[in-house]
Amino acid sequence: MRELIVLGTGNAQAVNYYNTCFALRLDEGLFLVDAGGGNGILTQLRKAEIDFLDIHHMLVTHAHSDHLLGAIWVIRMIGQNIKNYDGDFTIYAHDEAASAIKTICSLTLPGSVLKLIGDRINIKEITNGESLEVLDESFTFFDICSGKMKQFGFSARFRDGMIFTCLGDEPFSEGCRVYAEGSTWLTSEAFCLYRERDIFKPYEKHHSTVREACETAAALSAANLVLWHTEDSHDSKRKKLYQDEGRAYYDGNLIVPEDLDVIQLGHRLSDSKLL
């Protein structure tokens, strides 16, 4: 089994969606990527029927509030329930994000949790291009060359040949092509529709639109593209509007999930259509 559990699809200021974050469910366990901006992560995990005690691996891509603050809550909940927790909890983060996590934990969490950091709760610093075995699969972490704040994406290369790549929440940078080209699954931010760029002004926020994300996926020959980190004005029409615009630029499988969608990660388009 290999699933993408979508915990949130909104941008930082969205109120109709939770902030963008997700979990991969693999045969060997869960890999949580970011946690949104607060203890709403606990609600999302409960709705997704994920017990936080089953989470042993989490990546924090960068230190922006809409990605990192929820991670503090995950650390707190695991720390306060450590008696019922098997094994260790590893948080992967680059140096700046790791430093922010440690600082915020030290300012906001009780001593009973803090004393577990470095013991049962490990903050593992990762470097650009570093590959690690996580859950018996190979994960390579890479700097997305953010224009705002240091941010890492990752590419998981599974034993059966599937490649799942997370590009983070900024526009694609050519320097990351080596990690992302030929991905079976590609996830990208798309702040808004291209035709609404004058309303939402994505470029001044270092974000892109559905059009650019789809052009990127086409240029990288990605078989499946997941778009998220969006504005939230279209409610239930978002999926159709984004897919209609994206089709002109990308002929792979374009998915615009809702919060809490669960996407089966298949190899072929027919395995994964969620239309």
Contact between 212 and Zn ion by CB under 5 A: the answer reads: no
Interface with Zn ion: number of residues (CB under 5 A) = 2
The DSSP output letter for 257 is P
Distance in angstroms (rounded) separating the CA atoms of residues 107 and 104 = 5
Q: Considering the complex, what minimum distance in angstroms separates the CB of residue 73 from Zn ion?
A: 17
Rama region for 69: left / alpha / beta (φ>0; ψ in -120 to 50; rest): alpha
Distance in angstroms (rounded) separating the CA atoms of residues 265 and 25 = 10
Of residues 274, 160, 159, 177, the one with CA closest to residue 221: 177
For Zn ion, the closer of residues 34 and 137 by Cβ is 34
For Zn ion, the closer of residues 66 and 261 by Cβ is 66
Contact between 66 and Zn ion by CB under 5 A: the answer reads: yes
Question: Residue 89 contacts by C-beta under 8 Å, 6 or more apart in sequence?
Answer: 55, 56, 57, 58, 75, 78, 120, 121, 122
Q: Considering the complex, what minimum distance in angstroms separates the CB of residue 271 from Zn ion?
A: 29
Binding string, residues 161-190; x marks residues near Zn ion by CB under 5 A: --------x---------------------
Contact between 143 and Zn ion by CB under 5 A: the answer reads: no
User: How many C-beta atoms surround the C-beta of residue 119 within 10 A?
Assistant: 9
- The region of 60-68, 112-120, 139-147, 157-165 touching Zn ion under the rule CB under 5 A is 60-68
Contact between 231 and Zn ion by CB under 5 A: the answer reads: no
Contact positions toward Zn ion, by CB under 5 A? 66, 169
